[in-house]
Structure 1
Amino acid sequence: METSHSSKQSSSGMKRELGWYASFSVAFGFVSIATGIFTTYGAVLNTSGGRGIWAWPITVVGQLMVALIFGALAARMPISGYAYQWVSRIAHPIWGWLMGWVSFAFLIVVVVAVDYTISATILPALFGYVATPANNWAITAVVMLLQAILVAISTRITNKVNETAVTIQIIGMIGLTILLFVVGSIAGQLDLNQLFSSAPVGDADYWTFGGVTDAGPFPLAFLLGAFTIVGFESAANLAEETKNPARVIPKAMAQAVLSLGILGMLFLVAITALAGDLTELAGSSTPVATVITSVLGPVVGNILLVLVVISIFSCGLVITLSGTRLVWAMARDQRFPGWQFLRKVSPTRHTPLAASLFFFVITQAVLAIFAGTTDALFSLFSAATLLPAMIYAGTVLMYAIKRKSLPPSQGFTLGRWEIPVIILASVWLIYELLIFRDDSFAQPRLYVAIMIGIGVLYLAYLLIRRGIHGLTMPDMTDVDKTFDADEPVHSDSPGTVQK
């Protein structure tokens, strides 16, 4: 049976209604440079100074290499669940399940990290009140509820909201960057020397990699790009709702990373060149807004804050959408707790309502765990940077080992660039993972360890109950077969599906 990727509706119950811009918007919206830069620029100033922004283009190149590999896999296996599906089918179901679980752990923490930014740093600056753990918790919970409702109601509406938000973000960020350069130049405020200043950190041992339990100042600067340029693979997680996914998704992911990388670098140059006293700016809770307000005035500064709120809401919306699809994909394969309930697709909404509700409840629990800590935002975005690095590293390793036995591509290949791309992606990911040896990441490492521990326990239960043979994945040619919403599907041998 041939898989019909151009049909109006896949037999899983999902509608194939997403085109190129919708796919691009999903990747762009998840990455969201407005969100990432606004959240982490202050941390980069405090750890790496003004010259820390030069880690950004290196990160972009590294993440682009990863995106190209993900694109090559998406073109061969355009199916919801991305890394979970790919590793399960190409390497081994056990490794694939662990990859899916780590992806789940990433998505539930990154949506909290993103939405928490609204309450912790933006709304206080916009409305002039003092942020507390209590009001941060309440506001974040409401934002997450709104996102969950949209995702549960309609994929089409969700993507329309995201497309609109992404369009606003693109126009707003381009306009803002140009305005900063023009006004700053006219006013004589542009100081390009700031781009090479280490203040407030100092020059001593600036370029060193660090010791066994501490990273040097410049390596820590990579967290700005590593936290921001992440999540582009969410476009692949909507493969079963995308028209011609094998061609559309690889292109959308690569274009999103490249455009975000260029626009983000220009914006960082503008902000840093106009920063004034870098040591004083590093003490601001909203350094980006502080610079823009000082250059363009409070009205434009507040407009920026509104733009960032829209961008962050869009980012959280896409994460919620991607998270529910991952839960649904694993539940469809009977590999997630409560799969009998979570695998159901609404016959009227064509959305996985149960998975949407489950994802919302779990993210609320994660919010409750982190909301009471004094450094909640740092812990959240650190965990949300470490987990995708692990996902990317595992997927790239699998691709490198299995590349000669992959299914044929349906729309995109790396061709003669395959080896250089693999090498660059591998070097980048090893370097990134080594940064997290720093003691400041103790809490994020603990979160990762706990989530992996929970996952291993459930995996052990699956193995005891079914054995390794019971985790065999359905054959790719059966992806678009109808899955009965009430009866379980068991895979008794490779390449077969039995009801």
Structure 2
Amino acid sequence: MTSNTPNGHLGDDEHLAVLGYEGKFDRSMSLWANFALGFTYLSPLVGVYSLLAVALSTGGPPSIWWIVIVACGQLLVSLVFGEIVSQYPIHGGIYPWARRLWGRRYAWLAAWVYIWAMIVTITSVAEFGSGFVTSLLGIELTPEATLFTALGLLLLALAINFSGTRWLARIARIGLAAELIGVIGLGLYLLIFQRKHDFSVFFDTMGTAGDGSYLPVFLASALAGLFLFYGFEACGDVAEEVSDPARRIPRAMMMTIFVGAISALFSFGGYVLAAPNLEDIVAGKVADPIPSILDATLGPVGAKLFLIIAILAFISCVLSLQAAASRLLYSFARDGMLPGHTWLSKVSERSKVPTNALIVACTVPALICVLIYFNDGILVAVTSFAILGIYLSFQMVVLASLRQRFKGWKPAGPFSLGGAGTAVNVVALAYGLFAMYLLAKPGETGEFFADYVVLIGLAVVLVTGLVYLFVARPDRKSDAPQGDAIAVSDEIRRRTGAVKTQ
């Protein structure tokens, strides 16, 4: 068994030194700020607003149960990530975890997919957020208005991120408050004062299955949950800016899942139970049902107040996404794994943030926004790819973790699942593969591109990444540590006084 000296754990700088790095960032992010960052990235408000109509028209009110199913599955993934980040509390999340658990090339591919998925997610959130801004200002939602509003959101987030970690934490907390008011507060109000349906409606398929089995229809509505529960990993992307990250980040990730699930249930459930035209929504006759529900329940003034709250949530979401993406780019570049790595890995002496990586995390989504302006049909395609890409990156880390466990790795961070670790890891991998199957399953419209757009997008990213990997060989340009999970865990135990006794 393993015994530890009382309170024996590494200090932040010593832990970082064991991992081969030195601290360059301001560790001013608290547990709550770290949780706020992950929560505003996950953003139940954005997820529910974006997918309520799709979920209801596909699977009816019972599609709400996907929120519970996916939350449980992603909680298992967050537990696996928690053990990893507790041993490896370093910037970048997915990339350094995959590298230290497997190797350079494996990590490069995981990070390549994840970076593009994050960049596309930033684009999608900015595009969706533009609708709220134009509604508040009373501007017609034209392609031009969408473009300039989305660019404005990206630039505003960049300016805040440039100001440093303290401002990032402050705005993330404001975004957290906006999210909680916008989802839990509004959800409770709708449930208590505006309920027009009985709770049994969540077991009523309302004819969505036709004369056939409901199971295929229910599986098709899985996006209601799958789109919601990623973002918790962002807590680990900024690990070097968190005080006592080995303990706090695992807690922040789990808090993100728990609070996100509760918030999403209140929000989704509130809208369903308060909908005056639920049958029409389920029948697909209402493309965007939330504005009509808000107007009917809150009135014009209340609806405007909600728009302000929603805009704050969208700004915070873009902010968190940019911050997480920039830290991943920085981590990737710090190890010499990207073109222009010297430029990308620079950290501002004044604000202690990777400003050049932030510029990239703003510029590339802005360019995609311009592409969408010229072809708005690709927004759905790029958004669909983003979800599958992120889930694939997650499972690459989960698989790498399981591989190390089978080789004898026992995570040495202060957060530990103990003997349950392997079982949790196996179930998390099984869940992830099932989720990826649901996301990649071709549609049934009969149009090849529409039915296979998610797989096409993933294939393009994977092929281009593999071509670059085997032609440019960025993995050969880096001598940063890799595949050292067992060695690092042994060193941490040696330094903390943990000893193995028979």
Band the TM-score falls in, shorter-chain normalisation: 0.7 to 0.9
Q: What is aligned with 1:433?
A: 436
1:131 corresponding residue in structure 2:
141
Greater shift in the superposed pair: 437-446 or 149-158: 437-446
For the 8 Å contact 2:28–2:165, the answer to whether it is kept is: no
8 Å Cα contact 1:94/1:471 also seen in 2: no
Deviations 1:317-345 (A, max 9, x none): 10000001111111110001110211111
Which of 368, 371, 393 is the aligned partner of 2:370? 368
The CA distance in 2 between the partners of 1:147 and 1:293, in whole Å, is 30
1:285: how far off? 4.0
Secondary structure of 1:232's partner?
coil
Q: CA deviation at 1:29?
A: 1.0
Kept after mapping to 2: 8 A contact 1:115/1:312:
yes
- Residue 39 of structure 1 aligns with an amino acid whose one-letter code is S
Listed one character per residue, the Cα deviations across residues 131-189 of structure 1 (whole Å, up to 9, x for unaligned) are 2333212211111111112212312112211111212322443321221122125xxx2
Cα distance in 2, alignment partners of residues 265 and 420 from structure 1: 28
Task: Give the whole-Å Cα distance in 1 for the aligned partners of 2:28 and 2:417.
Answer: 27
Name the residue aligned to 1:46: 57
**Comparing 95-104 with 440-449, which one deviates more in the overlay?**
440-449
Q: What is the identity, as a one-letter code, of the residue corresponding to 2:442?
A: D
Do the aligned partners of residues 295 and 206 (structure 1) sit closer, same or farther apart at CA in structure 2, a change above 3 Å counting?
farther
Q: CA deviation at 1:276?
A: 3.2
How far apart are the structure 2 equivalents of 1:200 and 1:149? Answer: 49
1:42 alignment partner AA:
A
Q: Distance in 2 between matches of 1:218 and 1:130?
A: 36
Provide the aligned length of Structure 1 versus Structure 2. 463
Amino acid corresponding to residue 53 of structure 2 in structure 1: G
Give the secondary-structure state (helix, strand or coil) at the position aligned to 1:16.
coil
- Judged with a 3 Å threshold, the aligned counterparts in structure 2 of structure 1 residues 280 and 124 are, in CA distance, closer, same or farther, namely farther
From 151, 155, 158, give the equivalent of 2:161.
Answer: 151
Alpha-carbon distance change, 420 to 317 in structure 1, aligned in 2, over 3 angstroms: same
Matched, 1:418 2:425: no
Distance 1:240 1:153 in 2: 17
Matched, 1:16 2:27: yes
Q: Write the distance in 2 (CA, Å) between the matches of 1:104 and 1:283.
A: 36
Q: Which residue of 2 aligns with 1:403?
A: 405
1:192 and 2:199 correspond: yes
Report what 2:344 is aligned to. Answer: 342
In 2, Cα distance between the equivalents of 1:299 and 1:35? 21
Please report the TM-score for the alignment, with normalisation by the length of structure 1.
0.86
| Correspondence for 1:160 | 170
Tell whether the 8 Å contact from 1:199 to 1:278 is kept in structure 2 after alignment.
no
* Cα offsets for 1:372-396 (capped at 9, x unmatched): 3344443243122111110111111
1:473 is aligned to 480
CA–CA separation in structure 2 for the residues paired with 1:227 and 1:367: 20
State the alpha-carbon separation in 1 of the partners of residues 288 and 312 from structure 2.
Answer: 17
Residue 453 (structure 2) aligns with: 443
Is the deviation greater in 339-348 or in 317-326? 339-348
CA spacing shift, 1:466–1:85, aligned 2, 3 Å: closer
Q: Give the AA of the match of 1:95.
A: Y
Q: Which moved more, 1:367-376 or 1:347-356?
A: 367-376
Q: Which moved more, 1:272-281 or 1:219-228?
A: 272-281
- Number of the residue aligned with 2:193: 183
The Cα shift of 1:127 comes to 4.4
1:195 touches 1:273 (CA, 8 Å); kept in 2? no
How far residue 74 of structure 1 moved from its aligned partner, in angstroms, is: 0.4
Distance 1:295 1:191 in 2: 17
Deviation at 1:4, TM superposition (A): 4.1
Whole-angstrom distance in 1 between the partners of 2:46 and 2:225: 12
C-alpha distance in 2, partners of 1:381/1:441? 14
Q: Indicate the residue corresponding to 1:265 in structure 2.
A: 265
Which residue does the alignment assign to 2:223?
223
Cα 1:193–1:268, aligned 2, differ >3 Å: closer, same or farther? same
Per-residue CA deviations over 1:75-122 (Å, capped at 9, x if unaligned) read 111111112111111212110111111111111000111111112x42
Give the 3 Å change call, closer, same or farther, for CA 55–84 of structure 1 in structure 2: same
Q: Displacement of 1:206 after TM fit?
A: 4.7
Partner of 1:93: 104
Separation in 2, partners of 1:294, 1:123: 20
Q: Distance in 2 between matches of 1:359 and 1:450?
A: 20
CA distance in 1 between partners of 2:256 and 2:167 (Å):
21
Corresponding letter in the other structure for 2:394: Y
Match of 1:33 in 2: 44
For 1:195 and 1:302, how far apart are their aligned partners in 2? 29
- Which region of structure 1 is more displaced relative to structure 2, 426-435 or 364-373? 364-373
What is the one-letter code of the residue matched to 1:59? Answer: V
Structure 1 residue 173 and structure 2 residue 176: aligned? no
| Counterpart residue type for residue 16 of structure 1 | R
Q: Which amino acid aligns with 1:437?
A: K
Report how far residue 450 of structure 1 moved. Answer: 2.2
CA displacement at 1:46 relative to structure 2: 2.2
Deviation at 1:453, TM superposition (A): 2.5
AA of the residue aligned to 1:339:
H
**TM-score of the superposition, structure 2-length normalised?**
0.86
- Runs of 4 or more off by more than 4 Å in structure 1? 475-479
* Matched residue type, 1:23: N
Work out the percentage of aligned pairs sharing the same amino acid: 24
Q: Tell me the residue number matched to 1:105.
A: 116
Alignment of 1:220-369 (within 5 A): 220-281=220-281, 282-369=284-371
Q: 2 CA distance for matches of 1:472 and 1:406? A: 22
Measured in 1, the distance between the counterparts of 2:428 and 2:242 equals: 27
Aligned equivalents of 1:359, 1:129: Cα separation in 2: 28
Give the 3 Å change call, closer, same or farther, for CA 379–403 of structure 1 in structure 2. Answer: same
| Structure 2 stretches lacking a partner, 5+ long | 1-8, 444-449, 489-502
Structure-2 residue corresponding to 1:489: none
Task: Give, in angstroms, the shift of residue 237 of structure 1.
Answer: 0.6
